Structure 1
Amino acid sequence: MKYMLIIGMLLLTVFANAQQPAQTTKPDVILKVNGDELTGKVTEITDDEVKFVYANETLVYAIKKAEIQKITFSSGRIEFFNKPAAPAAGNANTGGAPASGESHHNKVAILPFGFVRDGQNAADEISLKVQNDCFSYMNKHAGQLSILDPRTSNAMLAKGGVTRENIKNYTMTDLCNLLGVEYVVEGTVLMNSTTQTSYSTANADVKDKDKDKKVSGSTFSSSQQNFETNLNLNIYNDAGATVYSQSRRSFFNTQDAYQNTLEYLLKRTPLYQK
Protein backbone atom coordinates (compact mmCIF):
# COMPACT_ATOMS: atom_id res chain seq x y z
CA MET A 1 0.00 0.00 0.00
CA LYS A 2 2.87 2.34 0.87
CA TYR A 3 4.54 1.76 -2.50
CA MET A 4 1.26 2.33 -4.35
CA LEU A 5 0.89 5.69 -2.57
CA ILE A 6 4.42 6.76 -3.57
CA ILE A 7 3.83 5.76 -7.21
CA GLY A 8 0.55 7.67 -7.21
CA MET A 9 2.26 10.82 -5.90
CA LEU A 10 4.97 10.56 -8.56
CA LEU A 11 2.36 10.22 -11.31
CA LEU A 12 0.53 13.29 -10.00
CA THR A 13 3.79 15.28 -10.01
CA VAL A 14 4.58 14.29 -13.59
CA PHE A 15 1.03 15.14 -14.68
CA ALA A 16 1.16 18.54 -12.95
CA ASN A 17 4.47 19.41 -14.60
CA ALA A 18 3.09 18.38 -17.97
CA GLN A 19 0.20 20.80 -17.53
CA GLN A 20 2.52 23.78 -16.98
CA PRO A 21 2.91 25.87 -20.14
CA ALA A 22 6.35 25.90 -21.66
CA GLN A 23 8.32 29.02 -20.91
CA THR A 24 8.64 31.25 -23.92
CA THR A 25 12.00 32.74 -24.72
CA LYS A 26 12.57 35.93 -26.64
CA PRO A 27 13.75 35.35 -30.21
CA ASP A 28 16.89 36.68 -31.84
CA VAL A 29 16.17 39.39 -34.42
CA ILE A 30 18.36 39.95 -37.48
CA LEU A 31 18.01 43.34 -39.15
CA LYS A 32 19.33 43.22 -42.70
CA VAL A 33 20.96 46.12 -44.50
CA ASN A 34 17.91 46.41 -46.78
CA GLY A 35 15.61 46.84 -43.76
CA ASP A 36 14.18 43.28 -43.59
CA GLU A 37 13.80 41.75 -40.13
CA LEU A 38 14.23 38.02 -39.50
CA THR A 39 12.94 36.54 -36.25
CA GLY A 40 14.13 33.21 -34.89
CA LYS A 41 17.32 31.75 -33.44
CA VAL A 42 20.97 32.37 -34.35
CA THR A 43 22.73 29.01 -34.11
CA GLU A 44 26.23 29.85 -35.31
CA ILE A 45 28.37 32.80 -36.43
CA THR A 46 31.34 32.12 -38.71
CA ASP A 47 33.84 34.44 -40.37
CA ASP A 48 31.58 35.07 -43.38
CA GLU A 49 28.03 34.12 -42.47
CA VAL A 50 25.42 33.63 -39.77
CA LYS A 51 23.46 30.37 -39.37
CA PHE A 52 19.82 31.10 -38.58
CA VAL A 53 16.59 29.18 -37.93
CA TYR A 54 13.22 30.89 -38.31
CA ALA A 55 10.79 30.72 -35.38
CA ASN A 56 8.80 27.44 -35.33
CA GLU A 57 10.96 25.95 -38.10
CA THR A 58 13.94 23.58 -38.19
CA LEU A 59 15.62 24.41 -41.49
CA VAL A 60 18.95 26.22 -41.02
CA TYR A 61 19.63 29.20 -43.29
CA ALA A 62 23.04 30.75 -43.97
CA ILE A 63 23.00 34.55 -44.24
CA LYS A 64 26.08 36.42 -45.40
CA LYS A 65 27.44 38.92 -42.89
CA ALA A 66 27.60 41.53 -45.65
CA GLU A 67 23.77 41.46 -45.76
CA ILE A 68 23.33 41.99 -42.01
CA GLN A 69 23.18 45.35 -40.29
CA LYS A 70 22.78 44.11 -36.72
CA ILE A 71 21.55 41.23 -34.57
CA THR A 72 19.52 41.82 -31.42
CA PHE A 73 19.95 38.67 -29.34
CA SER A 74 17.34 37.36 -26.92
CA SER A 75 19.55 38.47 -24.02
CA GLY A 76 19.26 42.08 -25.17
CA ARG A 77 22.82 42.27 -26.48
CA ILE A 78 23.17 43.96 -29.87
CA GLU A 79 25.94 43.10 -32.33
CA PHE A 80 26.52 45.40 -35.29
CA PHE A 81 27.92 44.22 -38.63
CA ASN A 82 27.30 46.83 -41.36
CA LYS A 83 25.79 50.23 -41.91
CA PRO A 84 22.31 50.43 -43.48
CA ALA A 85 21.94 50.94 -47.20
CA ALA A 86 22.05 54.61 -48.18
CA PRO A 87 18.67 56.04 -49.26
CA ALA A 88 18.16 57.14 -52.85
CA ALA A 89 19.12 60.74 -53.59
CA GLY A 90 15.53 61.61 -54.51
CA ASN A 91 14.35 60.53 -51.06
CA ALA A 92 16.82 62.70 -49.15
CA ASN A 93 15.28 64.80 -46.40
CA THR A 94 16.04 68.36 -47.43
CA GLY A 95 13.53 70.04 -45.17
CA GLY A 96 13.69 70.90 -41.50
CA ALA A 97 11.58 67.94 -40.38
CA PRO A 98 13.20 65.40 -38.05
CA ALA A 99 14.82 62.40 -39.69
CA SER A 100 13.06 59.05 -39.42
CA GLY A 101 13.16 55.42 -40.54
CA GLU A 102 16.41 54.09 -41.94
CA SER A 103 18.26 57.37 -41.29
CA HIS A 104 17.99 56.63 -37.56
CA HIS A 105 19.82 53.33 -37.70
CA ASN A 106 23.08 53.00 -35.78
CA LYS A 107 22.95 56.61 -34.55
CA VAL A 108 23.20 57.46 -30.85
CA ALA A 109 22.71 60.74 -28.99
CA ILE A 110 23.66 61.43 -25.39
CA LEU A 111 21.36 63.76 -23.48
CA PRO A 112 22.72 66.19 -20.86
CA PHE A 113 23.08 64.27 -17.60
CA GLY A 114 21.21 65.25 -14.49
CA PHE A 115 23.56 66.03 -11.59
CA VAL A 116 22.12 66.43 -8.10
CA ARG A 117 24.50 67.33 -5.27
CA ASP A 118 23.18 67.30 -1.71
CA GLY A 119 19.63 67.54 -3.00
CA GLN A 120 20.28 70.52 -5.29
CA ASN A 121 20.67 70.57 -9.08
CA ALA A 122 24.29 71.29 -9.96
CA ALA A 123 25.34 73.93 -12.47
CA ASP A 124 24.87 73.24 -16.18
CA GLU A 125 28.65 73.07 -16.62
CA ILE A 126 28.83 69.98 -14.40
CA SER A 127 25.97 68.31 -16.26
CA LEU A 128 27.73 68.98 -19.58
CA LYS A 129 31.01 67.64 -18.17
CA VAL A 130 29.40 64.25 -17.45
CA GLN A 131 27.74 64.27 -20.89
CA ASN A 132 31.13 64.85 -22.54
CA ASP A 133 32.77 62.13 -20.42
CA CYS A 134 30.07 59.70 -21.58
CA PHE A 135 30.59 60.70 -25.22
CA SER A 136 34.38 60.30 -25.00
CA TYR A 137 34.11 56.76 -23.68
CA MET A 138 31.30 55.62 -26.00
CA ASN A 139 33.04 57.08 -29.04
CA LYS A 140 36.11 54.93 -28.34
CA HIS A 141 33.96 51.80 -28.39
CA ALA A 142 31.38 52.72 -31.05
CA GLY A 143 32.05 50.00 -33.63
CA GLN A 144 29.48 50.52 -36.42
CA LEU A 145 27.61 53.10 -34.35
CA SER A 146 27.73 56.83 -35.00
CA ILE A 147 27.76 58.82 -31.75
CA LEU A 148 26.43 62.36 -32.05
CA ASP A 149 28.80 64.80 -30.35
CA PRO A 150 27.23 66.65 -27.37
CA ARG A 151 27.59 70.10 -28.93
CA THR A 152 25.49 69.02 -31.93
CA SER A 153 22.95 67.19 -29.74
CA ASN A 154 22.50 70.18 -27.43
CA ALA A 155 22.16 72.61 -30.34
CA MET A 156 19.46 70.44 -31.93
CA LEU A 157 17.62 70.18 -28.61
CA ALA A 158 17.73 73.95 -28.18
CA LYS A 159 16.44 74.55 -31.73
CA GLY A 160 13.61 72.10 -31.02
CA GLY A 161 12.63 74.01 -27.89
CA VAL A 162 13.81 71.30 -25.48
CA THR A 163 15.30 72.67 -22.27
CA ARG A 164 16.55 71.26 -19.00
CA GLU A 165 13.26 72.29 -17.40
CA ASN A 166 10.81 70.84 -19.95
CA ILE A 167 12.67 67.78 -21.29
CA LYS A 168 10.50 65.49 -19.17
CA ASN A 169 7.50 66.57 -21.25
CA TYR A 170 8.96 64.75 -24.28
CA THR A 171 8.86 61.02 -24.89
CA MET A 172 12.02 59.17 -25.86
CA THR A 173 10.51 58.65 -29.31
CA ASP A 174 10.06 62.42 -29.60
CA LEU A 175 13.70 63.00 -28.68
CA CYS A 176 14.97 60.29 -31.05
CA ASN A 177 13.00 61.82 -33.93
CA LEU A 178 14.17 65.33 -33.07
CA LEU A 179 17.81 64.23 -32.96
CA GLY A 180 17.52 61.78 -35.87
CA VAL A 181 18.93 58.84 -33.92
CA GLU A 182 18.02 55.25 -33.11
CA TYR A 183 19.11 55.41 -29.47
CA VAL A 184 19.27 58.06 -26.76
CA VAL A 185 21.37 57.75 -23.61
CA GLU A 186 20.35 59.59 -20.46
CA GLY A 187 21.47 59.42 -16.87
CA THR A 188 21.58 61.06 -13.46
CA VAL A 189 24.39 61.41 -10.93
CA LEU A 190 23.33 61.68 -7.29
CA MET A 191 26.14 62.87 -5.01
CA ASN A 192 25.82 63.48 -1.27
CA SER A 193 28.44 64.76 1.16
CA THR A 194 29.25 62.31 3.93
CA THR A 195 32.24 62.51 6.29
CA GLN A 196 35.44 64.54 6.30
CA THR A 197 38.87 62.97 6.57
CA SER A 198 41.51 65.10 8.31
CA TYR A 199 45.27 64.84 7.95
CA SER A 200 47.93 66.55 10.05
CA THR A 201 51.74 66.52 10.27
CA ALA A 202 54.10 68.10 12.78
CA ASN A 203 57.80 68.99 12.52
CA ALA A 204 60.08 69.96 15.42
CA ASP A 205 63.67 71.27 15.54
CA VAL A 206 65.62 70.92 18.77
CA LYS A 207 68.93 72.73 19.27
CA ASP A 208 71.25 72.11 22.22
CA LYS A 209 74.17 74.54 22.18
CA ASP A 210 75.98 75.23 25.40
CA LYS A 211 73.07 73.51 27.06
CA ASP A 212 70.73 76.27 25.99
CA LYS A 213 67.85 74.33 24.52
CA LYS A 214 65.75 75.86 21.80
CA VAL A 215 62.70 74.11 20.45
CA SER A 216 60.76 75.20 17.37
CA GLY A 217 58.18 73.39 15.29
CA SER A 218 55.37 73.65 12.79
CA THR A 219 52.11 71.83 12.22
CA PHE A 220 50.28 71.33 8.94
CA SER A 221 46.72 70.05 8.64
CA SER A 222 44.27 69.43 5.83
CA SER A 223 40.88 67.84 5.39
CA GLN A 224 39.11 66.02 2.55
CA GLN A 225 35.37 65.94 1.98
CA ASN A 226 34.04 62.46 1.23
CA PHE A 227 31.02 61.75 -0.96
CA GLU A 228 28.56 58.96 -1.65
CA THR A 229 27.80 58.80 -5.38
CA ASN A 230 25.09 56.86 -7.21
CA LEU A 231 24.67 56.82 -10.99
CA ASN A 232 21.58 55.85 -12.99
CA LEU A 233 22.07 55.07 -16.69
CA ASN A 234 19.28 54.43 -19.22
CA ILE A 235 19.20 53.79 -22.97
CA TYR A 236 16.02 53.98 -25.09
CA ASN A 237 15.36 53.30 -28.77
CA ASP A 238 13.27 55.27 -31.26
CA ALA A 239 10.26 53.07 -30.51
CA GLY A 240 10.34 54.25 -26.90
CA ALA A 241 11.46 50.87 -25.54
CA THR A 242 14.03 50.61 -22.76
CA VAL A 243 17.17 48.96 -24.10
CA TYR A 244 19.21 49.23 -20.89
CA SER A 245 18.57 50.53 -17.38
CA GLN A 246 20.93 50.12 -14.44
CA SER A 247 21.97 51.93 -11.25
CA ARG A 248 25.23 51.59 -9.36
CA ARG A 249 26.84 53.06 -6.27
CA SER A 250 30.41 54.29 -6.70
CA PHE A 251 33.12 52.34 -4.90
CA PHE A 252 35.27 55.41 -4.28
CA ASN A 253 34.29 58.41 -2.13
CA THR A 254 35.99 61.17 -4.12
CA GLN A 255 34.31 64.01 -6.00
CA ASP A 256 35.03 62.45 -9.41
CA ALA A 257 34.01 58.91 -8.43
CA TYR A 258 31.18 58.99 -10.98
CA GLN A 259 33.71 58.56 -13.81
CA ASN A 260 34.67 54.98 -12.89
CA THR A 261 31.03 54.11 -12.27
CA LEU A 262 29.96 55.54 -15.63
CA GLU A 263 32.64 53.52 -17.42
CA TYR A 264 31.59 50.37 -15.53
CA LEU A 265 27.95 50.73 -16.60
CA LEU A 266 28.72 51.69 -20.21
CA LYS A 267 30.83 48.55 -20.63
CA ARG A 268 27.74 46.50 -19.85
CA THR A 269 25.35 48.18 -22.28
CA PRO A 270 24.35 46.44 -25.53
CA LEU A 271 25.83 49.40 -27.46
CA TYR A 272 29.37 48.80 -26.17
CA GLN A 273 31.79 47.44 -28.77
CA LYS A 274 35.22 46.17 -27.72
Structure 2
Amino acid sequence: MKNLTIVFGLLFFLITSVSQAQEDIVHMLNGDEKKGKVTAVKSDAISFVYSGEDLEYELKKQNIHKIDFASGRTEVYNQVQNSSSPSNANANTAVTSTAAERKNKIAVLPFKIISNNASLTSEGMMEEVQNTTANSIRSNTSQVILQDPSETNAILYENNIGEAEASKMRPADIAQLLGVEFVVIGSANIDYTGSNTYGSSRTTYKDKQERDRDSRKSSGKENTYSSSSSTENYSTNINLKIFNDEGRSVYSVDRTGIGTNLNKYETTISYLIKRSPWGSKR
Protein backbone atom coordinates (compact mmCIF):
# COMPACT_ATOMS: atom_id res chain seq x y z
CA MET A 1 0.00 0.00 0.00
CA LYS A 2 2.85 2.34 0.85
CA ASN A 3 4.47 1.61 -2.52
CA LEU A 4 1.21 2.48 -4.34
CA THR A 5 1.08 5.83 -2.52
CA ILE A 6 4.62 6.63 -3.66
CA VAL A 7 3.82 5.61 -7.24
CA PHE A 8 0.68 7.81 -7.38
CA GLY A 9 2.67 10.68 -5.88
CA LEU A 10 5.33 10.39 -8.56
CA LEU A 11 2.71 10.19 -11.30
CA PHE A 12 0.98 13.37 -10.01
CA PHE A 13 4.33 15.18 -9.91
CA LEU A 14 5.17 14.12 -13.46
CA ILE A 15 1.73 15.13 -14.79
CA THR A 16 1.96 18.51 -13.08
CA SER A 17 5.48 19.10 -14.37
CA VAL A 18 4.47 18.24 -17.94
CA SER A 19 1.41 20.54 -17.70
CA GLN A 20 3.51 23.44 -16.44
CA ALA A 21 6.16 22.82 -19.09
CA GLN A 22 3.49 23.29 -21.77
CA GLU A 23 2.61 26.78 -20.50
CA ASP A 24 3.95 30.06 -21.77
CA ILE A 25 4.86 32.45 -18.96
CA VAL A 26 4.56 36.19 -19.56
CA HIS A 27 6.62 38.27 -17.12
CA MET A 28 5.18 41.78 -16.74
CA LEU A 29 7.25 44.85 -15.83
CA ASN A 30 5.27 45.27 -12.61
CA GLY A 31 6.36 41.81 -11.44
CA ASP A 32 3.23 39.84 -12.33
CA GLU A 33 3.49 36.46 -14.05
CA LYS A 34 0.75 35.34 -16.44
CA LYS A 35 0.63 31.62 -17.29
CA GLY A 36 -1.17 30.27 -20.32
CA LYS A 37 -0.73 30.34 -24.09
CA VAL A 38 0.53 33.13 -26.36
CA THR A 39 -1.72 32.79 -29.41
CA ALA A 40 -0.42 35.68 -31.52
CA VAL A 41 2.35 38.28 -31.56
CA LYS A 42 1.49 41.66 -33.11
CA SER A 43 3.56 44.77 -33.70
CA ASP A 44 2.64 46.38 -30.37
CA ALA A 45 0.86 43.64 -28.42
CA ILE A 46 0.42 39.91 -27.90
CA SER A 47 -2.75 37.80 -27.74
CA PHE A 48 -2.88 35.62 -24.62
CA VAL A 49 -5.17 32.95 -23.16
CA TYR A 50 -4.90 32.00 -19.48
CA SER A 51 -4.50 28.34 -18.57
CA GLY A 52 -7.88 26.65 -18.20
CA GLU A 53 -9.73 29.48 -19.96
CA ASP A 54 -10.92 30.21 -23.49
CA LEU A 55 -11.16 34.02 -23.45
CA GLU A 56 -8.38 35.76 -25.37
CA TYR A 57 -6.72 38.88 -23.93
CA GLU A 58 -4.42 41.47 -25.50
CA LEU A 59 -1.29 42.52 -23.58
CA LYS A 60 0.70 45.58 -24.66
CA LYS A 61 4.37 44.89 -25.36
CA GLN A 62 5.39 48.09 -23.59
CA ASN A 63 4.18 46.51 -20.31
CA ILE A 64 5.95 43.17 -20.82
CA HIS A 65 9.44 42.34 -19.55
CA LYS A 66 9.84 38.94 -21.26
CA ILE A 67 8.06 35.75 -22.34
CA ASP A 68 9.26 32.26 -21.44
CA PHE A 69 7.72 30.06 -24.12
CA ALA A 70 6.87 26.42 -23.45
CA SER A 71 9.39 25.45 -26.13
CA GLY A 72 12.17 26.80 -23.91
CA ARG A 73 12.74 29.98 -25.93
CA THR A 74 12.77 33.34 -24.11
CA GLU A 75 11.90 36.62 -25.78
CA VAL A 76 12.77 39.88 -23.99
CA TYR A 77 10.82 43.07 -24.80
CA ASN A 78 11.80 45.55 -22.07
CA GLN A 79 14.36 45.61 -19.30
CA VAL A 80 13.05 45.91 -15.76
CA GLN A 81 14.00 49.27 -14.28
CA ASN A 82 15.73 49.39 -10.93
CA SER A 83 13.02 50.18 -8.37
CA SER A 84 15.55 51.94 -6.14
CA SER A 85 16.24 54.53 -8.81
CA PRO A 86 14.78 57.92 -7.79
CA SER A 87 13.66 58.59 -11.36
CA ASN A 88 11.47 55.48 -11.40
CA ALA A 89 8.26 56.97 -9.99
CA ASN A 90 5.99 54.21 -11.29
CA ALA A 91 7.03 50.56 -11.39
CA ASN A 92 4.76 49.86 -14.36
CA THR A 93 6.37 52.36 -16.72
CA ALA A 94 8.87 51.39 -19.38
CA VAL A 95 10.76 53.55 -21.85
CA THR A 96 10.61 51.93 -25.30
CA SER A 97 11.40 54.97 -27.48
CA THR A 98 14.75 56.35 -28.58
CA ALA A 99 15.86 59.98 -28.67
CA ALA A 100 15.67 59.92 -32.47
CA GLU A 101 12.09 58.64 -32.40
CA ARG A 102 11.07 61.34 -29.91
CA LYS A 103 12.64 64.19 -31.92
CA ASN A 104 10.40 67.29 -32.26
CA LYS A 105 7.34 65.50 -30.85
CA ILE A 106 5.28 67.20 -28.14
CA ALA A 107 2.50 65.99 -25.82
CA VAL A 108 0.12 67.83 -23.51
CA LEU A 109 -0.82 66.31 -20.15
CA PRO A 110 -4.30 66.78 -18.67
CA PHE A 111 -4.25 70.09 -16.79
CA LYS A 112 -4.51 70.30 -13.04
CA ILE A 113 -7.62 72.34 -12.18
CA ILE A 114 -7.75 74.39 -8.98
CA SER A 115 -11.12 75.96 -8.21
CA ASN A 116 -13.55 76.92 -5.46
CA ASN A 117 -16.21 75.31 -7.66
CA ALA A 118 -16.02 71.54 -7.24
CA SER A 119 -17.70 70.87 -10.61
CA LEU A 120 -14.72 72.45 -12.40
CA THR A 121 -12.14 70.09 -10.86
CA SER A 122 -13.52 67.04 -12.67
CA GLU A 123 -11.51 64.81 -14.99
CA GLY A 124 -13.63 66.08 -17.86
CA MET A 125 -12.54 69.68 -17.25
CA MET A 126 -8.89 68.58 -17.00
CA GLU A 127 -9.14 66.99 -20.44
CA GLU A 128 -11.12 69.95 -21.86
CA VAL A 129 -8.30 72.37 -21.01
CA GLN A 130 -5.79 69.77 -22.28
CA ASN A 131 -7.61 69.63 -25.63
CA THR A 132 -7.81 73.43 -25.80
CA THR A 133 -4.02 73.59 -25.38
CA ALA A 134 -3.44 70.86 -27.95
CA ASN A 135 -5.68 72.63 -30.48
CA SER A 136 -3.77 75.86 -29.91
CA ILE A 137 -0.48 74.05 -30.56
CA ARG A 138 -1.92 72.68 -33.83
CA SER A 139 -2.99 76.15 -34.95
CA ASN A 140 -0.27 78.41 -33.62
CA THR A 141 3.06 76.53 -33.77
CA SER A 142 5.43 75.04 -36.30
CA GLN A 143 8.40 72.62 -36.23
CA VAL A 144 6.82 70.37 -33.60
CA ILE A 145 4.64 67.28 -34.08
CA LEU A 146 1.71 67.08 -31.67
CA GLN A 147 0.78 63.76 -30.10
CA ASP A 148 -3.01 63.54 -30.04
CA PRO A 149 -4.33 63.86 -26.46
CA SER A 150 -6.27 60.60 -26.84
CA GLU A 151 -2.97 58.76 -27.44
CA THR A 152 -1.32 60.56 -24.52
CA ASN A 153 -4.16 59.68 -22.16
CA ALA A 154 -4.22 56.05 -23.32
CA ILE A 155 -0.51 55.61 -22.52
CA LEU A 156 -0.97 57.23 -19.11
CA TYR A 157 -3.99 54.99 -18.40
CA GLU A 158 -2.15 51.83 -19.43
CA ASN A 159 0.59 52.72 -16.95
CA ASN A 160 -1.84 53.63 -14.13
CA ILE A 161 -0.70 57.25 -14.12
CA GLY A 162 -3.30 59.77 -13.06
CA GLU A 163 -2.87 63.44 -12.22
CA ALA A 164 -1.62 62.63 -8.71
CA GLU A 165 0.95 60.09 -9.95
CA ALA A 166 2.14 62.33 -12.79
CA SER A 167 2.80 65.20 -10.37
CA LYS A 168 5.33 62.99 -8.55
CA MET A 169 7.22 61.96 -11.68
CA ARG A 170 10.13 63.73 -13.31
CA PRO A 171 9.17 65.49 -16.55
CA ALA A 172 11.96 63.65 -18.39
CA ASP A 173 10.49 60.28 -17.39
CA ILE A 174 7.02 61.32 -18.54
CA ALA A 175 8.33 62.57 -21.89
CA GLN A 176 10.29 59.36 -22.51
CA LEU A 177 7.33 57.22 -21.51
CA LEU A 178 5.05 59.08 -23.91
CA GLY A 179 7.66 58.86 -26.68
CA VAL A 180 7.99 62.63 -27.16
CA GLU A 181 10.79 65.16 -26.91
CA PHE A 182 8.67 67.80 -25.16
CA VAL A 183 5.89 67.57 -22.61
CA VAL A 184 3.49 70.37 -21.64
CA ILE A 185 2.50 70.45 -17.97
CA GLY A 186 -0.05 73.03 -16.90
CA SER A 187 -2.51 74.11 -14.24
CA ALA A 188 -5.57 76.34 -14.38
CA ASN A 189 -6.78 78.25 -11.34
CA ILE A 190 -10.42 79.08 -12.06
CA ASP A 191 -12.38 80.69 -9.21
CA TYR A 192 -16.05 81.60 -9.25
CA THR A 193 -16.38 85.23 -8.13
CA GLY A 194 -20.17 85.68 -8.22
CA SER A 195 -22.83 86.81 -10.67
CA ASN A 196 -24.29 90.05 -11.97
CA THR A 197 -27.98 90.49 -12.73
CA TYR A 198 -29.25 93.08 -15.15
CA GLY A 199 -32.91 94.13 -15.62
CA SER A 200 -34.94 96.49 -17.76
CA SER A 201 -38.58 97.46 -18.21
CA ARG A 202 -40.67 99.18 -20.92
CA THR A 203 -44.15 100.68 -20.74
CA THR A 204 -46.47 101.22 -23.71
CA TYR A 205 -49.83 102.94 -23.93
CA LYS A 206 -52.76 102.24 -26.19
CA ASP A 207 -55.33 105.07 -26.44
CA LYS A 208 -58.94 104.60 -27.34
CA GLN A 209 -61.24 107.46 -28.16
CA GLU A 210 -64.97 107.32 -27.95
CA ARG A 211 -67.12 110.05 -29.47
CA ASP A 212 -70.78 110.93 -28.89
CA ARG A 213 -72.93 113.86 -29.57
CA ASP A 214 -72.27 115.77 -26.33
CA SER A 215 -68.63 115.08 -25.40
CA ARG A 216 -65.28 113.56 -26.30
CA LYS A 217 -64.14 110.79 -23.96
CA SER A 218 -60.82 109.02 -24.05
CA SER A 219 -59.54 105.94 -22.23
CA GLY A 220 -56.09 104.32 -22.24
CA LYS A 221 -54.49 100.97 -21.51
CA GLU A 222 -50.99 100.64 -20.00
CA ASN A 223 -48.72 97.65 -20.76
CA THR A 224 -45.43 97.12 -18.95
CA TYR A 225 -42.77 94.62 -20.09
CA SER A 226 -39.73 93.64 -18.03
CA SER A 227 -36.73 91.41 -18.64
CA SER A 228 -33.61 90.36 -16.74
CA SER A 229 -30.37 88.51 -17.40
CA SER A 230 -27.42 87.37 -15.32
CA THR A 231 -23.78 86.57 -15.98
CA GLU A 232 -21.45 84.25 -14.06
CA ASN A 233 -18.04 85.71 -13.26
CA TYR A 234 -14.74 83.85 -12.97
CA SER A 235 -11.14 84.75 -12.24
CA THR A 236 -8.69 82.68 -14.32
CA ASN A 237 -4.95 82.12 -14.04
CA ILE A 238 -2.98 79.75 -16.31
CA ASN A 239 0.42 78.29 -15.42
CA LEU A 240 2.16 76.50 -18.29
CA LYS A 241 5.53 74.74 -18.39
CA ILE A 242 7.29 72.82 -21.18
CA PHE A 243 10.12 70.37 -20.46
CA ASN A 244 12.28 68.30 -22.79
CA ASP A 245 13.10 64.60 -22.49
CA GLU A 246 16.26 65.46 -20.55
CA GLY A 247 14.24 67.25 -17.87
CA ARG A 248 15.29 70.77 -18.88
CA SER A 249 12.68 73.54 -18.77
CA VAL A 250 12.37 75.24 -22.17
CA TYR A 251 9.35 77.47 -21.43
CA SER A 252 7.65 78.54 -18.21
CA VAL A 253 4.93 81.20 -17.96
CA ASP A 254 2.12 82.30 -15.68
CA ARG A 255 -0.65 84.65 -16.81
CA THR A 256 -3.96 85.94 -15.41
CA GLY A 257 -6.76 86.03 -17.95
CA ILE A 258 -8.47 89.25 -18.98
CA GLY A 259 -12.25 89.21 -18.59
CA THR A 260 -14.68 87.35 -16.37
CA ASN A 261 -16.20 84.72 -18.66
CA LEU A 262 -15.38 81.07 -17.95
CA ASN A 263 -14.07 80.47 -21.48
CA LYS A 264 -11.52 83.27 -21.16
CA TYR A 265 -8.98 80.60 -20.27
CA GLU A 266 -8.98 79.64 -23.97
CA THR A 267 -7.78 83.11 -24.96
CA THR A 268 -5.10 83.04 -22.27
CA ILE A 269 -3.78 79.64 -23.39
CA SER A 270 -3.72 80.78 -27.02
CA TYR A 271 -1.71 83.86 -26.01
CA LEU A 272 0.85 81.71 -24.16
CA ILE A 273 1.20 79.08 -26.91
CA LYS A 274 1.76 81.74 -29.57
CA ARG A 275 4.75 82.98 -27.56
CA SER A 276 6.24 79.54 -26.91
CA PRO A 277 9.56 78.57 -28.57
CA TRP A 278 7.67 77.35 -31.67
CA GLY A 279 4.80 79.85 -31.56
CA SER A 280 3.68 82.17 -34.34
CA LYS A 281 4.35 85.27 -32.22
CA ARG A 282 7.78 84.16 -31.01
TM-score range, shorter chain: 0.5 to 0.7
Q: Name the counterpart of 1:84.
A: none
Match of 1:118 among 116, 127, 133: 116
* Structure 2 letter corresponding to 1:151: S
Instruction: Work out the CA distance in 1 between the residues paired with 2:104 and 2:280.
Output: 12
Work out the percentage of aligned pairs sharing the same amino acid. 30
- Number of matched residues? 182
Q: Quick one: distance in 1 between partners of 2:243 and 2:279? A: 14
**C-alpha offsets along residues 84-131 of structure 1, whole Å, 9 cap, x if unaligned?**
xxxxxxxxxx76742132222111111011122226462111111111
Structure with the greater alpha carbon radius of gyration: 2
Offset, 1:213: 2.3
Q: What TM-score do you get using the length of structure 2 for normalisation?
A: 0.60
Residue 145 of structure 1 corresponds to which residue in structure 2? 144
Aligned to 1:98: 96
Residues 98, 179 of structure 1: 8 Å contact kept: no
Show the counterpart of 1:251: 258
Is this contact kept in 2: 1:160–1:178, CA < 8 A?
no
> Equivalents in 2 of 1:143, 1:263: separation in Å?
14
**TM-score of the pair, normalised by structure 1:** 0.62
Looking at structure 2, the residues matched to 135 and 191 of structure 1 have their Cα atoms a distance apart, in angstroms, of 19
| Of 222, 237, 261, the match for 2:229 | 222
Question: Which deviations, in whole Å up to 9, do the C-alpha atoms of 1:155-212 show, x marking residues without a partner?
Answer: 0111122112321121111101110111100111111122422221212221222322
Q: Distance in 2 between matches of 1:245 and 1:119?
A: 26
Structure 2 letter corresponding to 1:102: A
- Aligned-residue Cα RMSD (Å) equals 2.1
- Matches of 1:224 and 1:273 in 2, distance apart? 33
Cα distance in 2 for partners of 1:255, 1:101 equals: 39
Judged with a 3 Å threshold, the aligned counterparts in structure 2 of structure 1 residues 141 and 220 are, in CA distance, closer, same or farther, namely closer
- Which consecutive unaligned segments of at least 5 residues does structure 2 have? 1-76, 79-93, 210-217
Q: 1:72-221 alignment to 2 at 5 Å?
A: 97-118=95-116, 120=118, 122-210=121-209, 211-221=218-228
For residues 177 and 160 of structure 1, the distance between their equivalents in structure 2, rounded to whole angstroms, comes to 13
User: Within 1, Cα distance between the matches of 2:221 and 2:280?
Assistant: 67
Change (3 A) 1:180 1:273: farther
**Contact between 2:238 and 2:255, CA under 8 Å: does it hold in 1?**
yes
In structure 1, C-alpha distance between the alignment counterparts of 2:280 and 2:103, rounded to whole Å:
16
Question: What's the offset of the Cα at 1:136?
Answer: 1.2
